[in-house]
């Protein structure tokens, strides 16, 4: 059940820290020359998301291979012993560039996350502050829940599409869903557009909860760091 956990943890460390860190560094640098508005944040979110995807892609490849290894026939299993073993064997047996083979979908998804989650959170903190919500847990919570809502609304059609494509059964060797756009079109035409958001409440509870925990943890760790190292 936990096979590939070490790779997943390393992937999350590189993915989350680089996504948030690159965004804030670029935002603070740009703020020296111009006012940061929503469009600036969207652009920075795209850049930060793309960079973090490229950085974390090797760990993503190792995680996917390790977690899915048992689903392969015995003769095709790679039997990686650890994350280090997986990384070494991929690099030596298949070449270093294998870590980034087929990374485009992952990069595109993370760029979307960079906009819908990181950029919107940053914008909401400013918006709530202007409405009288002071900086602190209340502002962080409201901003994170709002960001999680935007993230859920934008990404759920893709989540629905992914699930339909992953769990479909072939009919005499043919598949009903073969592409993301085709699946979205089929669902919207035959079941209605709102079917793309069927089951939204539990999805938002998951994404919103994750977003709240992530950003509140980041803000509290930032305060702790500043209290000790920026006196």
The domain locations on the chain are: 1-115, 133-231
pLDDT at residue number 1: 57
pLDDT at residue number 145: 94
The per-type count for the chain, helices as H runs and strands as E runs, is 8, 0
Residue that is written with structure tokens 């073993």 in the block: 85
Cα gap 90→182, rounded to integer Å: 34
Please name the fold of domain 1-115: Mitochondrial carrier fold (1.50.40)
- The strand pairing partners of 171, in sequence order, are 174
pLDDT at residue number 17: 87
State phi, psi for 73 to the nearest 5 degrees: -60, 155
Orientation of helix 180-191 relative to helix 137-167, angle to 10°: 90
Mean pLDDT of the chain: 85
Per residue in 53-102, pLDDT (tens digit) is 888 888 888 877 787 777 777 777 777 787 788 888 888 888 888 888 76
| 166 — pLDDT class (breaks 50, 70, 90) | low
Cα gap 58→97, rounded to integer Å: 9
Do 148 and 207 contact (CB within 8 A), yes or no? yes
- The strand pairing partners of 174, in sequence order, are 171
Q: What is the dihedral of CA 167, 169, 175, 178, to 10 degrees?
A: 0
Q: What is the mean pLDDT of residues 100-125?
A: 86
Do 212 and 144 contact (CB within 8 A), yes or no? yes
Residues in the chain: 231
Residue 23, pLDDT above cutoff 90: yes
pLDDT at residue number 173: 65
pLDDT at residue number 3: 59
| 106 — pLDDT class (breaks 50, 70, 90) | confident
State phi, psi for 114 to the nearest 5 degrees: -60, -35
Per residue in 40-54, pLDDT (tens digit) is 999 999 999 999 988
Do 56 and 90 contact (CB within 8 A), yes or no? no
Cα gap 215→51, rounded to integer Å: 20
Q: What is the mean pLDDT of residues 220-229?
A: 86
pLDDT at residue number 182: 86
């Amino acid at each position: 059940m936990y096979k590939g956990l070490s790779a997943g943890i390393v992937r999350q460390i590189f993915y989350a820290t680089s996504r948030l860190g690159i965004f804030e560094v670029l935002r603070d640098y740009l703020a020296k020359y111009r006012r940061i508005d929503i469009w600036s944040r969207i652009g920075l979110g795209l850049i930060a998301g793309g960079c973090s995807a490229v950085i974390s892609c090797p760990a993503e490849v190792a995680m996917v291979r390790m977690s899915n290894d048992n689903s392969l026939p015995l003769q095709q299993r790679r039997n990686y012993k650890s994350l280090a073993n997986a990384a070494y064997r991929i690099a030596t047996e298949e070449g270093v560039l294998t870590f980034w083979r087929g990374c485009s979908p992952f990069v595109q998804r993370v760029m979307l996350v960079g906009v819908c989650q990181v950029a919107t959170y940053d914008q909401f903190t400013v918006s709530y502050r202007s409405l009288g919500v002071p900086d602190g847990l209340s502002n962080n919570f409201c901003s994170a829940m709002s960001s999680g809502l935007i993230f859920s609304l934008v990404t759920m059609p893709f989540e629905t599409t992914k699930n339909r494509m992953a769990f479909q059964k072939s009919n005499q060797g043919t598949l009903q869903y073969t592409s993301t756009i085709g699946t979205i079109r089929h669902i919207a035409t035959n079941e209605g557009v709102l079917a793309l958001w069927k089951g939204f409440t539990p999805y938002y509870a998951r994404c919103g909860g994750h977003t709240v925990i992530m950003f509140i943890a980041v803000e509290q760790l930032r305060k702790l760091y500043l209290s000790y190292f920026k006196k």
